[in-house]
């Protein structure tokens, strides 16, 4: 059941754990490689060294000593042997699959009638009681690292501040998106995910977010296809340099600290594709950078039903999931960025504070839980061949979360992606109430004051407890 619905629904932005465009896997001349230096800078001589190998630097994040290189696959060993390198591996890619989505087309936004449908926001705000204590302000800004934001959406415009940015370069993902021109100002959402997330934070119109007067900025790292790790690191660092207060990241996937293998289905040849150490270490450096800047990072736990603390379980899942594609994995699997030290990792709940049946969990992995919706009825009706009845009776209203879309409208969705921005919003409310503080102190406030607490074994599912904005502000 787990594999069927993970593959069918693709609830959240998920990182490809195998390197795209590898020569061994695709018979292409060039490969893309992640390179991390010993120092948190890029040596001035490195560009010429790469050129001498027949390659080029395609993206650089000098603040953490990270570059992405495009080079002939035959030069990878020489690349790894260059002086000053800490580690290098074939680059990971992040993809935007089809999302589980149900469009809302029966509401006239002019009626401002969506509140009664927002059972998730009602739970977190105690039926709007927290709004009497605080709704945030533009003195506090949440940076949304995602697919962008609908800059003209009536419910997002009031809180969308100047300074949003695009990190998708000209040509998009490895030159496959000619519509991408590399315009830094092109942060418009073409997918819907980022707008949905933003609405849960600071929607203010026909729908309401948890913090409906808080400032938001978009940092777009996805086009219509995939994203590079480098773009995400760059977006995080830029958001911190822009002095946002919280970074909300409803994305996730896996790194393998071990080895990734590809078996060609035609020849049976097995090729070692290396590991993901460079990307994992770079993520840690990016989080360290923004944390030192005083910015809290809030991330999604992921939607694979896994105990993410159990590294063997994660690796076994990856081997099962990608077996048909010829990929196999040996070593320890880590959910990222949820496993990176210093971030707030959020699990998702459905109705009645029950762990959502897709949410990842794990002792020491989950920090806090928030409403992200559930799909129990969805699965039941789908498997029974009664999905039309599920839609006709609007049963999704009892399970899914409603928020903004990329086209000025609204849609229903579920996932830890939907839980994460709500925690980001409450973190912003705490800053607005108490003033700027260190990320460590903000985490402490979140875990001690912004929850309905849990104890014992429940902590493996809900961390410190269930998000409660009213408790945070009273």
Contacts 24+ apart (CB under 8 A), 462-465: 462/347, 462/349, 462/353, 462/355, 462/366, 462/368, 462/369, 463/345, 463/347, 463/366, 463/367, 463/368, 463/369, 464/367, 464/368, 465/368, 465/369
Residues pairing with 166 in the sheet: 220
> What pTM does this model have?
0.91
More confident residue, 449 or 76: 449
pLDDT score of 21 more than 90: no
pLDDT of residue 407: 93
* Average pLDDT of the residues in 427-447: 98
Six token digits for residue 424: 């980001």
Q: Considering all CA atoms of the chain, what is the largest pairwise distance in Å, rounded to the nearest integer?
A: 66
pLDDT of residue 346: 98
What is the C-alpha to C-alpha distance for residues 330 and 96, in angstroms, rounded to an integer? 25
**In which band, very low, low, confident or very high, does the pLDDT at 391 lie, cut at 50, 70 and 90?**
very high
Contacts 24+ apart (CB under 8 A), 3-10: 3/320, 3/321, 5/358, 5/375, 5/379, 6/303, 6/304, 6/305, 6/321, 6/358, 7/321, 9/100, 9/375, 10/97, 10/98, 10/99, 10/100
More confident residue, 337 or 8: 337
pLDDT score of 20 more than 60: no
* Average pLDDT of the residues in 420-444: 98
pLDDT of residue 264: 82
Query: 69-78, 150-159, 251-260, 330-339: which has the highest mean pLDDT?
Result: 150-159
* Average pLDDT of the residues in 32-38: 94
Where residue 230 falls (left for φ over 0; alpha for ψ -120 to 50; beta otherwise) is alpha
pLDDT of residue 95: 62
Contacts 24+ apart (CB under 8 A), 271-275: 271/22, 271/24, 271/25, 273/18, 273/19, 273/22, 273/24, 273/25, 273/90, 274/19, 274/89, 274/90, 275/89, 275/331
Short-list 21, 48, 52, 25, CA closest to 34: 21
CB 297 within 8 A of CB 284: no
Note the pLDDT tens digit of each residue in 166-186.
Answer: 999 999 999 889 999 999 999
* Average pLDDT of the residues in 281-286: 96
- Across 62-158, the runs of DSSP E, i.e. the strands, are 66-72, 85-90, 93-95, 102-104, 141-146
pLDDT of residue 110: 41
Note the pLDDT tens digit of each residue in 228-243.
Answer: 999 999 999 999 999 9
Helix (H) or strand (E) holding 404: strand 401-404
Percent of the chain at pLDDT above 90?
Answer: 75
* Average pLDDT of the residues in 3-12: 33
**Poorest-confidence range of 133-147, 261-275, 455-469?**
261-275
- List the domains of the chain with CATH numbers: 23-90 (3.30.70.80), 101-473 (3.40.50.200)
* N-terminal to C-terminal alpha carbon distance within the chain: 42
Six token digits for residue 11: 């609830």
| Percentages of the chain per state (helix, strand, coil), in multiples of 5 | 35, 25, 40
Six token digits for residue 339: 């496993």
Q: Backbone phi, then psi, for 287, in 5-degree steps?
A: -65, -40
Cα separations (Å) of 234 from 68, 262, 285, 449? 12, 29, 11, 32
pLDDT score of 328 more than 90: no
pLDDT of residue 273: 77
pLDDT score of 108 more than 80: no
**In which band, very low, low, confident or very high, does the pLDDT at 91 lie, cut at 50, 70 and 90?**
confident
What is the C-alpha to C-alpha distance for residues 96 and 221, in angstroms, rounded to an integer? 11
Mean pLDDT of the chain: 89
Helix (H, G, I), strand (E, B) or coil at 378: helix
**Poorest-confidence range of 99-103, 331-335, 459-463?**
99-103
Token match 């000025």: residue? Answer: 408
**In which band, very low, low, confident or very high, does the pLDDT at 106 lie, cut at 50, 70 and 90?**
very low
* Average pLDDT of the residues in 46-50: 95
Note the pLDDT tens digit of each residue in 182-195.
Answer: 999 999 999 999 99
Six token digits for residue 353: 């504070």
pLDDT score of 54 more than 70: yes
* Average pLDDT of the residues in 100-112: 51
pLDDT score of 101 more than 80: no
pLDDT score of 51 more than 90: yes
pLDDT of residue 61: 97
**Poorest-confidence range of 90-94, 129-133, 245-249?**
90-94
Percent of the chain at pLDDT above 70?
Answer: 90
* Average pLDDT of the residues in 112-135: 92
More confident residue, 235 or 91: 235
CB 374 within 8 A of CB 351: yes
What is the C-alpha to C-alpha distance for residues 115 and 155, in angstroms, rounded to an integer? 13
Helix (H, G, I), strand (E, B) or coil at 242: coil
Residue 45, class by beta-carbon neighbours within 10 Å (0-12 exposed, 13-18 middle, 19+ buried)? exposed
**In which band, very low, low, confident or very high, does the pLDDT at 25 lie, cut at 50, 70 and 90?**
very low
pLDDT score of 326 more than 50: yes
pLDDT score of 313 more than 80: yes
pLDDT of residue 5: 33
- Buried-exposed string 163-191: b where 16+ CB fall within 10 A, e elsewhere: bbbbbbbebbbbeebeebeeeeebbbbbb
Q: Helices 229-241 & 277-292, crossing angle to 10 degrees?
A: 10
């Amino acid at each position: 059941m787990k594999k069927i619905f993970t593959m069918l629904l693709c609830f959240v932005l998920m990182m490809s754990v195998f390197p795209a465009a590898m020569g061994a896997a695709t018979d292409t001349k060039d490969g893309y490689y992640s390179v991390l230096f010993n120092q948190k800078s890029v040596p001035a001589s490195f560009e010429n060294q790469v050129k001498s190998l027949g390659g080029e630097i395609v993206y650089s994040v000098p603040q953490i000593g990270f570059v992405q290189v495009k080079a002939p696959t035959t030069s990878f060993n020489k690349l790894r042997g260059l002086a000053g390198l800490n580690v290098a591996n074939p680059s990971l890619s992040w993809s935007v699959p089809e999302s589980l989505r149900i469009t809302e087309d029966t509401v006239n936004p002019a009626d401002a009638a969506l509140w009664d449908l927002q059972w998730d926001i009602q739970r977190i705000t105690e039926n709007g009681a927290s709004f009497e204590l605080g709704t945030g302000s533009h003195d506090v800004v949440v940076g949304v690292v995602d697919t962008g934001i609908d800059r003209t959406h009536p419910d997002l415009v009031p809180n969308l501040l100047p300074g949003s940015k695009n990190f998708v370069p000209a040509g998009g993902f490895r030159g496959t998106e000619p519509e991408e021109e590399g315009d830094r100002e092109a942060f418009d959402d073409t997918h819907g995910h980022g707008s949905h997330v933003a609405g849960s934070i600071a929607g203010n119109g026909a729908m309401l977010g948890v913090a409906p007067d808080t400032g938001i900025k978009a940092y777009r790292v996805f086009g219509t296809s995939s994203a590079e790790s480098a773009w995400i690191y760059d977006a995080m660092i830029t958001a911190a340099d822009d002095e946002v207060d919280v970074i909300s990241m409803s994305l996730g996937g896996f790194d393998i600290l071990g080895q990734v293998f590809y078996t060609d289905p035609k020849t049976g040849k097995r090729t070692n594709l290396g590991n993901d150490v460079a990307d994992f270490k770079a993520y840690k450096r990016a989080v360290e950078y923004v944390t030192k800047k005083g910015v809290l990072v809030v991330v999604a736990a992921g939607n694979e039903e896994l105990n993410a603390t159990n590294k063997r379980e994660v690796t076994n899942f990856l081997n099962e999931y990608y077996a048909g594609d010829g990929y196999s994995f040996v070593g320890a699997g880590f959910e990222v960025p949820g496993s990176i030290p210093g971030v707030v990792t959020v699990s998702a709940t459905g109705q009645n504070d029950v762990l959502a049946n897709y949410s990842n969990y794990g002792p020491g992995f989950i920090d806090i839980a928030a409403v992200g919706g559930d799909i129990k009825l969805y699965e039941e009706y789908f498997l029974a061949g009664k999905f039309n009845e599920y839609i006709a009776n609007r049963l999704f209203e009892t399970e899914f979360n409603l928020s903004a879309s990329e086209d000025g409208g609204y849609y229903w969705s579920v996932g830890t992606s939907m839980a994460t921005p709500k925690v980001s919003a409450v973190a912003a409310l705490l800053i607005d109430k108490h003033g700027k503080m260190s990320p460590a102190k903000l985490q402490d406030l979140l875990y001690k004051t912004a929850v309905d607490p849990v104890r014992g074994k429940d902590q493996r599912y809900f961390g410190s407890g269930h998000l409660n904005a009213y408790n945070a502000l009273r």
